[in-house]
Amino acid sequence: MATILKIKGLQVNYGGIQAVKNVDMEVKTGDLVTLIGANGAGKTTTMKAIAGLKPYSVGDIEYMGASIKGIPTHELLKRGLAMVPEGRGIFARMSIIENMQMGAYLRDDLHGVKRDIERMFGFFPRLEERKLQFAGTLSGGEQQMLAMARAIISKPKLLLLDEPSMGLSPIMVEKIFEVVREVSREGITVLLVEQNARLALQAASRGYVMESGTVTMSGDASKMLDDPKVRAAYLGE
């Protein structure tokens, strides 16, 4: 399997603090990879660096075999790299359907876009019920659904998901993970940052553990679920 994302010796400073220190990571095409760790471990900073939202001082990030250092986020989106940030980033003063259409603004296959919007409504019936409402009137869980739907409609090659289950009810969390698994099965490569380590490792094929800005463990996700250190630190056992 080809490598779609390769991080080499990444260092990122955040407010005068070295938030990410010499990180190496690799994501294969078609994989669902999760990055877990405590709050402040550097996970979101790493995701922002990949997405072009945070400049990095040392190291490099390669996407589809080429360095993406200094390339702005909108250019990366054109190349198929999409991110659903923590906090969702929906367009509050636009309707649900308009938000979804914004996800497709780089596409010119109108029939395909319509089909994909209908498919997202199949995943998230609540969004279809409210498709003409302003997105800002939705609950947190519904906004998360919309942010994911919009990103998927852009037909990314690599989808970055930063804390998709944060603040959601258990039922909503299960729904979000159902969609994450379905998207992965359809061939979209997913890199997932998630505080619910158990669900993340159950969904993923490979995992990385980040502590104090450094990757301290990596490997097969199912094996990490059984690792005593992971169980003690992140699974509450």
| pLDDT tens sequence across 85-129 | 877 789 999 999 999 999 998 889 999 999 999 999 999 999 999
Does residue 224 surpass a pLDDT of 90?
A: yes
Is 94 domain-assigned? no
Q: How many angstroms separate the CA atoms of 235 and 212, rounded?
A: 18
Residues with Cβ within 8 Å of residue 95, at least 6 apart in sequence: 131, 132, 133, 134, 135
Categorize the per-residue pLDDT at 237 as very low, low, confident or very high, splitting at 50, 70 and 90. low
Is 125 domain-assigned? no
**pLDDT over 90 percentage in the chain:** 83
Is 26 domain-assigned? yes
Range of the domain at 163: 3-89+140-234
Does residue 10 surpass a pLDDT of 80?
A: yes
> What is the structure's pLDDT at 99?
96
**pLDDT over 70 percentage in the chain:** 99
| Residue pair 153/100 in contact by the 8 Å Cβ criterion | yes
Categorize the per-residue pLDDT at 141 as very low, low, confident or very high, splitting at 50, 70 and 90. confident
| Residue pair 230/218 in contact by the 8 Å Cβ criterion | no
Average pLDDT over residues 172-198: 93
The two three-digit tokens of residue 8, written as one number? 């080499």
Q: How many angstroms separate the CA atoms of 50 and 62, rounded?
A: 9
Is 49 domain-assigned? yes
Length in residues, the chain: 237
Q: Residue 135 has what DSSP assignment?
A: G
Radius of gyration of the chain (CA): 17
Lowest model confidence (mean pLDDT) among 21-30, 88-97, 188-197:
88-97
Is 78 domain-assigned? yes
Categorize the per-residue pLDDT at 192 as very low, low, confident or very high, splitting at 50, 70 and 90. very high
Q: How many angstroms separate the CA atoms of 219 and 207, rounded?
A: 6
Is 160 domain-assigned? yes
Is 179 domain-assigned? yes
Q: What is the CATH number of the domain that holds 59?
A: 3.40.50.300
| Residue pair 146/99 in contact by the 8 Å Cβ criterion | yes
Categorize the per-residue pLDDT at 16 as very low, low, confident or very high, splitting at 50, 70 and 90. confident
> What is the structure's pLDDT at 1?
80
Work out the angle at residue 93's Cα, subtended by the Cα atoms of residues 89 and 98, and round it to the nearest 5 degrees: 80
Total domains, the chain: 1
Lowest model confidence (mean pLDDT) among 34-43, 136-145, 210-219:
136-145
| Residue pair 192/33 in contact by the 8 Å Cβ criterion | yes
Q: In Å, what is the CA distance from 203 to each residue of 33, 34, 80, 177? A: 9, 9, 22, 8
